[in-house]
Structure 1
Amino acid sequence: MASGSKGPRGTTLYCPEHPDAPLVEDYHAGDMICPECGLVVGDRVVDVGTEWRTFSNDKNQKDPCRVGAAENPLLDGGDLSTMIAPGAMGETITDEHGKPVYRNRRTLNSSDRALMTAFREISQIADRLNLPKMIVDRANTLFKQVHDGKSLKGRSNDAVAAACMYIACRQESVPRTFKEICGVSKISKKEIGRVFKLILKTLETNVDLITTGDFMSRFCSNLNLPHSVQKAATSIAKKAVEKDLVPGRSPVSVAAAAIYMASQASEHRKSQKEIGDIAGVAEVTIRQSYKLMYPKAHDLFPEDFKFAIPIEQLPAQ
């Protein structure tokens, strides 16, 4: 610890003879010691480490620790209340070491039980999609708002959880498609879309419009395409939208078609099937968007793109 270490009640501890020397903490004795002269500057320092030690060869694999689960502000009481579990005759239940077994009082609350189940489902969806914790936190908050409003009663909590995850991804600028959310949950794409619209209407919130650029980096990375192809595909998709070459087409299908066109003109050629598997788009959908963009291919590529295959030799569909 540094020479300005905090002692009891926030006081600053330092050695009067060596004020610049970093103090060493003796966790076993609770002392703060000067390494230069050995002076015990402070004693009875509270040890904030665990109270128990565990060993890999112990028969009992339980790991008793100082506190329970982390506090969850979305649950009543912060999810900290506990109770000693009573036995059949009213006596306290103990484990093999004679210590009382504690159970969460919240298991009796049906509302919080529903929340915890939904939070677990949201966390599992995030794990399958490799999404960060901030997405999970936003989705949990959205579900809590919907749950407290009671405006979607009768809807499956799993469907609401999946829709909240979709909205959270959109709001955090890492959008996922309905098909991707559907693929890692137990809910149909149609039901997720229906609940998504109801949540937006209920919470009076909105999400940014999805653009082709939202998916380009992820799709190209999953296809192991270099940055030059990604840059070209981004330019192709952006100009195709600006020139209104693909009216009514979804940003995902336009992005997939742009990647197909850019890859076919480079040394890293990808088939429509390979791109469709990554983007979650049918080959026929990619083909239809590509056919709309192909006649204007000369105007869509960036000027500095190095063609391995001339535009005239690109497939017509």
Structure 2
Amino acid sequence: MNKYFISISHPMDKICCHHHPNAPLVEDSHAGDTICSECGLVVGDRVIDVGSEWRTFSNEKTAEDPSRVGGPENSLLNGSDLSTIIGPSRGSASFDEFGMSKYHNRKSISSSDRTLINAFREIGSMADRINLPKSIVDRANLLFKQVHDGRNLKGRSNDAIASACLYIACRQEGVPRTFKEICAVSKISKKEIGRCFKLILKALETNVDLITTGDFMSRFCSNLGMSISVQRAATHIARKAVEMDIVAGKSPISVAAAAIYMASQASEDKKNQKEIGDTAGVAEVTIRMSYKLMLPYAASLFPSDFKYAVPIEHLPTS
């Protein structure tokens, strides 16, 4: 008898050994048998093992249970993820008089769940292309679910709604992305995403924090390969320009791009307007307009400890 057997007691009205009705029974989890502890008679077989199919070691610090019990359940879907699959037909009882199979697998997924699954897949695909974390994907999925259940944006493309939800999720999670960055990984135009963005905020009665130049500065400078000193100078310039109300009416993205251009032109690490515009997603003329507004106040915008490679008076005029 296996030394790992577990002793269990059964009352008389349940399974027991005919020769030793009062003897405790043991269960062989490997063979799936229930055995009498007195004579070794197998009184029950095919016991279902409810344990894991994999061995679990005590030093494995994981919260995941490797038991194979079907796909993970998605709480955002309306129906259950568990389903029954009918195997290949066998025997005459499985066919009708015409030789056709009596039992067929039918897709039980509802049209609502199918829409949600497709949207979640699109959101995940867009997020992967711009390296967004799972927390943002989860928030975007929840936003899409709320919009879908409320039927607030009838007539709008699901892809446009998904793109707008991803944009809102980025803003709400404190890592905003520009409309052009979302457009780059989506099939929807900036104009349509902007419309859905406003409609979603109104329908869900939610809001997003205002974006600032600091939300984009480190990412833009990093993508441009600029030094820390230039990044600090550009951050200081943009913040001072906003505080002094020099760039009133200009978007934070264009102000950040103009500040990067000004800081780079005063340093040895120079970047032209096209390079900065391609990275920030703004036109060169937009950078130029903000830069011209900031240039007369350049002496007040630069940090006091900045090491100039080019004097302020020799900075480009456009």
Instruction: Please classify the TM superposition score into its range, dividing by the shorter chain length.
Output: 0.7 to 0.9
SS at match of 2:124: helix
- In 1, Cα distance between equivalents of 2:277 and 2:218: 15
CA contact 2:273–2:284 (8 Å) conserved in 1: yes
CA contact 2:122–2:162 (8 Å) conserved in 1: yes
- Deviation of 1:71 (Å): 1.8
- In 2, Cα distance between equivalents of 1:85 and 1:248: 66
CA contact 2:79–2:113 (8 Å) conserved in 1: no
Indicate how the Cα distance of structure 1 residues 217 and 74 shifts in structure 2: closer, same or farther if over 3 A, else same: same
- In 2, Cα distance between equivalents of 1:257 and 1:86: 67
- Deviation of 1:250 (Å): 0.7
Residue deviations 1:196-238, cap 9 Å, x none? Answer: 0000000000000010000001000000111111111011001
Alignment of 1:1-317 (within 5 A): 46-49=51-54, 66-84=68-86, 89-91=100-102, 105-106=108-109, 109-317=110-318
- Deviation of 1:46 (Å): 3.9
- Deviation of 1:48 (Å): 4.3
SS at match of 1:160: helix
CA contact 1:81–1:104 (8 Å) conserved in 2: no
Residue deviations 1:29-66, cap 9 Å, x none? Answer: 9xxxxxxxxxxxxxx9944428xxxxxxxxxxxxxx92
CA contact 2:53–2:68 (8 Å) conserved in 1: no
Answer with 1 or 2: which has the greater Rg: 2
- Deviation of 1:124 (Å): 1.0
SS at match of 1:315: coil
CA contact 2:126–2:185 (8 Å) conserved in 1: yes
| Identity percentage of aligned residues | 72
SS at match of 1:239: helix
Tell me the TM-score normalised to structure 1 length. Answer: 0.75
- In 2, Cα distance between equivalents of 1:45 and 1:85: 23
CA contact 1:236–1:300 (8 Å) conserved in 2: yes
Amino acid at match of 1:90: S
CA contact 1:83–1:104 (8 Å) conserved in 2: no
Show the counterpart of 1:96: none
Amino acid at match of 1:66: R
Amino acid at match of 2:108: R
- In 1, Cα distance between equivalents of 2:310 and 2:125: 44
Indicate how the Cα distance of structure 1 residues 189 and 82 shifts in structure 2: closer, same or farther if over 3 A, else same: farther
Q: Which moved more, 1:81-90 or 1:120-129?
A: 81-90
Indicate how the Cα distance of structure 1 residues 86 and 189 shifts in structure 2: closer, same or farther if over 3 A, else same: farther
Residue deviations 1:151-178, cap 9 Å, x none? Answer: 1111110010000000000000110111
SS at match of 2:306: coil
What root-mean-square deviation, in Å, do the aligned CA atoms of Structure 1 and Structure 2 show?
A: 2.4
SS at match of 1:105: coil
- Deviation of 1:69 (Å): 2.9
Residue deviations 1:257-279, cap 9 Å, x none? Answer: 00001111111111101000100
Show the counterpart of 1:53: none
- In 2, Cα distance between equivalents of 1:86 and 1:285: 65
Amino acid at match of 1:132: P
Indicate how the Cα distance of structure 1 residues 103 and 212 shifts in structure 2: closer, same or farther if over 3 A, else same: farther
Indicate how the Cα distance of structure 1 residues 158 and 180 shifts in structure 2: closer, same or farther if over 3 A, else same: same
Amino acid at match of 2:54: G
- In 2, Cα distance between equivalents of 1:161 and 1:114: 11
- Deviation of 1:309 (Å): 1.4
